Chains A and B, each alone.
Chain A
Amino acid sequence: MSVGNQPTRGSDDVTRSIEVGHDREGRPVKKRRRFRRRVGHIPWISIGIVLVVLILPALLADLITVHDPLRGTLGDRLAPPFWMEDGSWTYPLGTDKQGRDILTRIIYGARISLTVSGLTILIGAVIGTSLGLLAGYFGGWIDRIVSWLIDTFLSLPHVLLALVIVAAIGPSFVTIVAIIAVTIWASFARQVRGETLSVRESEYVARARVAGAPSARILLRHVLPNIANTLIVLATLQVGVVILEESSLSFIGAGIPRPNPSWGVMVADGRDQILISWWISFFPGLAILLVVLSLNLVGDWLRDFLDPKLRQRGRD
């Protein structure tokens, strides 16, 4: 590959690693090929599952369901899935004790899971990232306090904590979001603090300090963009954690108040029928499993995809 126009002075070592072609004026034109190379290993199946089981149903719940998620038909209670004897396409995945359609409730449950995980991760990530950045960059007493908080929050038994809080102020959507956010900020803070510690020692931060950049600029322009990968990956992985946590809390009755169709509540509701009407717990459980597994796979792929080392090909 050669470069069309030569630099004005000095010698030219432009080439090899620049993945660009050039238009008539010699300006760079990125080649499509490069993009396609980098997206070779997308986990389509996992992304598909997340879309079909979680995101699309959450967005389109009102359009794609015919039954009421909260009130059932008592005459159709405990109907089995369609392929079994007595099953019908009216209730493809069967009904629960109160005659509510399982599929409809799973679809509305996706909405709750997505809202809860979105909100908690947003809150947790903002708090965790801010504290982690400050602790990692400035060190000293800020670091000591934040590290102590991280250790404390990571060692608290979350479920017990949740039970105590719920017992004190009662279950509600806001309580559950607050409880889960409180338990996940520490994961973000710990990760961000560690990354910041290493980025702080990097030569490009030293260069920025020599340039005279103030701390806020260094944190926002140099540190944050370079730990963004980790944040995105961590957030993806945390969606699974949050869904599981919300389900467990709902399962023990400290979560989303009934009759809202949270997946965890649904699994809990089918508990005493598990041997006879297994589908009540099984399908929401399956939804949790598929979504959490897929999100983990997507998270792993994102980690590879965003790894800047895979892009620094000039260094061989």
Chain B
Amino acid sequence: MGDLLMSAEKLSKHFPVSAGQYGGKTIGHVKAVDGVSFAIEKGKTLALVGESGCGKTTTARMILRLWTPTAGNVTLEGRNIHDLKGADLKWFRSAVQAVFQDPWASLSPRMRVRDIVAEPLVVNQKVDRHEVRERVGATLEQVGMQPWHGDLFPHEFSGGQRQRVALASALITQPRLLVLDEPVSALDVSVQAQVMNLLKDLQSELGTAFLLISHDLATVRYVADQVAVMYMGRVVETGSVDQIFENPQHPYTKGLFASALPDHPRNRRPELEILGEMPSPLDPPSGCQFRTRCPSVMTICEQVPDSIEIEPGHSVACHLYAGKAI
């Protein structure tokens, strides 16, 4: 085990659902995230994996303090991030940064690249203009661009370059944790490879930890150290990337991996077991939420399964593994 950087404990986010358009009575809650716990070690990568609507983006937004959790807490180096104020908050903002999915939407079209890159530095730390310029130039070089690119506007760049700009902006405060929300899925295949290589290089050089949000299993396998598989707001399986990919245990994880497209025509799956569709989050199944799609459903699945550690570091929330705890 390495050093703990950030941990989330029983993190939940429930959104009220109201009847009618104009703020009528609240008729229920969507449990977008429901009791999620995980830990990120210094300089390592944790990937949150799941289908759209599984709560992975909501979790990331709580980690970034964009949303307040309904319950649970997040600690960064021992401090609860949702209690921070003043100077501590500035410390947090320098320590945790993010790169979003769509490089076309995440850069303000009206700001020059150098102002975009400098922003996290300027608002959080007292640095003079000269130093800001130097650091913007240095950070741009770090992501494989040139200092003079700072004079241009975002629309003058291609998608891959824009994602590099976003990355430069996220790196300028030398954060300890970088939240990567689908960082390559909007890019072309050949450019994806460039950005993924860059992420790997930066991690080994700077020792930044990553929280990777992705639905693309190939990306996860390439970048991540630890994986947490999410389904309808809960973590159903967690372990190291090898444990999860070589030895998936939860029926949902297995189904997810089986659905992934083959990398070669010889690996086509004519007898693939197809999972049904995710039930409405407004009316989730009781007990194990996967039971409506699960091929090995049992009567006990009407009760919520506990998370069971089946081998060191590898836990599964499934009744199939009751009594198999190590």
Contact flag (A, B; Cβ within 8 A):
yes
Interface residues of A (CB under 8 A from B): 5, 7-20, 26-28, 202-204, 206-214, 217, 221-222, 225-226, 228, 308, 311-315
Selected from B92, B105, B155, the residue in CB contact (under 8 A) with A204 is B105
Candidate in B65, B105, B108, B141 with the most chain A CB atoms within 10 angstroms? B108
B107 within 8 A of A: yes
Segment at the A interface, from B93-101, B226-234, B310-318: B93-101
Is B214 an interface position by the 8 A CB rule? no
Which residues of B are at the interface with A, using a C-beta cutoff of 8 A?
Answer: 64-66, 89-90, 92-94, 96-98, 100-102, 104-111, 119-120, 123-124, 141-146, 148-149, 151-152, 155-161, 164, 166, 169, 179, 191, 194, 197-198, 201
Partner of A211, one of B107, B124, B155: B124
Given contacts A212-B93, A308-B155, A315-B159, contact A7 B148 (CB under 8 A): no
Is B66 touching A7 in the complex (CB atoms < 8 A)?
Answer: no
CA distance A11 to B144 in the complex (A): 7
* Residues of A contacting B109 in the complex (Cβ-Cβ under 8 angstroms): 226, 308, 312
Select B156's contact among A5, A11, A210, A314, beta carbons within 8 Å.
A314
Distance (whole angstroms) from the CB of A263 to the closest CB of chain B: 37
A312 to B159, CA, bound (A): 11
Residues on A with C-beta less than 8 A from B158 are 13, 15-17, 314
B93 & A225 in contact (Cβ 8 Å cutoff)? no
Q: In the assembled complex, which residues on chain B have CB atoms less than 8 Å from the CB atom of A8? A: 141, 144, 146
In the complex, 6 of the A-B residue pairs with CB atoms within 8 angstroms, ordered by the A residue number, are A10-B144, A11-B144, A202-B105, A208-B119, A211-B124, A212-B92
Could you tell me the distance in whole angstroms from the C-beta of A230 to the nearest C-beta in chain B?
13
Is A226 touching B110 in the complex (CB atoms < 8 A)?
A: yes
> B100 is contacted by which of A15, A16, A26, A206 (Cβ under 8 Å)?
A206
Contact indicator A19/B156 (Cβ below 8 Å): yes
12 more A-B residue pairs beyond the given contacts A8-B144, A210-B65, with a C-beta to C-beta distance below 8 A: A10-B164, A10-B198, A28-B148, A28-B152, A207-B100, A211-B123, A211-B169, A212-B120, A222-B108, A308-B110, A312-B104, A315-B159
User: Which residues of the other chain, A, contact B155 by a CB distance below 8 angstroms?
Assistant: 17, 308, 311-314
Chain A residue numbers with a CB within 8 Å of B179 are 210
Q: Which of A18, A27, A213, A313 contacts B119 (CB 8 A)?
A: A213
A211 touches B148 (CB 8 A): no
- Given the contacts A11-B144, A14-B149, A210-B64, A203 and B101 also touching, CB distance less than 8 Å: yes
Complex: A203 Cα to B105 Cα, angstroms: 6
The one of A202, A211, A314 that contacts B93, using a Cβ cutoff of 8 Å: A211
Task: Indicate the member of A10, A17, A313 with the most B CB atoms within 10 Å.
Answer: A10
Q: In this complex, which of A217, A221, A313 has the most chain B Cβ atoms within 10 angstroms of its Cβ? A: A221
A13 contact from B148, B160, B197, Cβ within 8 A? B160
